[in-house]
Amino acid sequence: MTTDEPPSSHSTGKSRPSEKSWLEKLFSAFSAEPKSRDELLDIIKDAAENQLVDAEALSIIEGALDVSSQQVREIMIPRSQMVVVGIHDKPEEFLPKIIESGHSRFPVVGESVDDIRGILLAKDLLPLLLKGFDEFQLENLIRPANIIPESKRLNILLREFRENRYHMAVVIDEYGGVSGVVTIEDILEEIVGEIEDETDEEEADSFIRKVGENDYIVKALTPIEEFNEFFDSAFSDEEFDTVGGLIMQSFGHLPGRDEVTRLGDFMFRVLYADSRQIHLLRVAHMRKPPEEDN
């Protein structure tokens, strides 16, 4: 005689719901379809806290999400900082400028900066070292310039850079005047942080770099004494040696990208920070340094 046994209510080979791994929880959270960018970031940050995503990957993800909401005007090299070549310039006039800047691409202009004629690639000048510049015509070397509005979103521009295989665009304002330039490297730095190469050696040694009117890029390791000397400020260096220390104290926590705080006459925005420290800041000064007031 056989006895029918009821089916078992559990299987010994399966984990209980309470035993879900963090990976399963992450997938479950994503399946719930986050309703906002902040919700999505919270999920990714939870994954990072539980070591499913490392700090560097988290920073890159945050940068990629930021790029989708940023416009060209926020990162472009402003008009005042552009290095341009005149269409009628002779080699002895523009070559020293090209060598000194260390850049690889240069807007070529006519009567004014607003008269963009094209883009000169430094590498296109190399064959002339053998042929000579006797019958040199700059207009024969320049390539078409890509003109974009200040309002263009960075993620769209990055896609165009990749699809059309160009690396620089000239930015114009609503009136058609040139307001700056932007490169593919500028966008990538928003995602992965500052990219330095051998041409950046001199710049890398400088803690403070002006990028616009009363607008500066400042390394977090800048000594407070040097910061005070440059801006004629009076921040105390009794508790901290560097600007990064002051900013950490102001926030009260380790800030992430784009968090903002104000100290005195300065507005500090975090450009790059990892899970341990702040690396790079953008500083808006409410008045010019004394040496520029004259």
User: How do the domains of the chain map onto residue ranges?
Assistant: 73-191, 206-289
Residue type, 209: R
DSSP bridge pairs for 269? 260, 282
Judge whether residue 294 has pLDDT over 90: no
pLDDT in tens, 32-54: 566 676 777 777 777 777 777 77
pLDDT in tens, 194-224: 665 544 544 444 688 887 778 888 988 899 9
Mean pLDDT of all residues belonging to the chain: 80
Burial 44-56 (b: 16+ CB within 10 A, else e): beebbeeeebeee
Q: How far is CA 283 from the centre of its chain?
A: 14
User: 73-191 has which fold?
Assistant: CBS-domain (3.10.580)
Q: How far apart are CA 9 and CA 212, in angstroms?
A: 69
Of the candidate ranges 56-70, 77-91, 155-169, the one whose mean pLDDT is the lowest? 56-70
Burial of 270 (0-12, 13-18, 19+ CB in 10 A): buried
DSSP bridge pairs for 77? 181
Which CATH architecture best describes the domain 206-289?
2-Layer Sandwich (3.30)
Residue type, 73: R
**8 Å CB contact between 179 and 172:** yes
Query: Which whole number is the average pLDDT over 91-106?
Result: 82
Higher pLDDT, 59 or 13: 59
- Whole-model pTM over 0.85: no
The backbone torsions φ and ψ at residue 281, rounded to the nearest 5 degrees and listed phi first, read -130, 150
Return the structure tokens found at 243: 């600007």
Query: Which whole number is the average pLDDT over 6-25?
Result: 50
Q: How many CB atoms lie within 10 A of CB 215?
A: 13
Judge whether residue 288 has pLDDT over 60: no
pLDDT in tens, 69-87: 889 998 898 888 888 999 9
Q: Residue 112: which H helix or E strand, with range?
A: none
| pLDDT value for 15 | 46
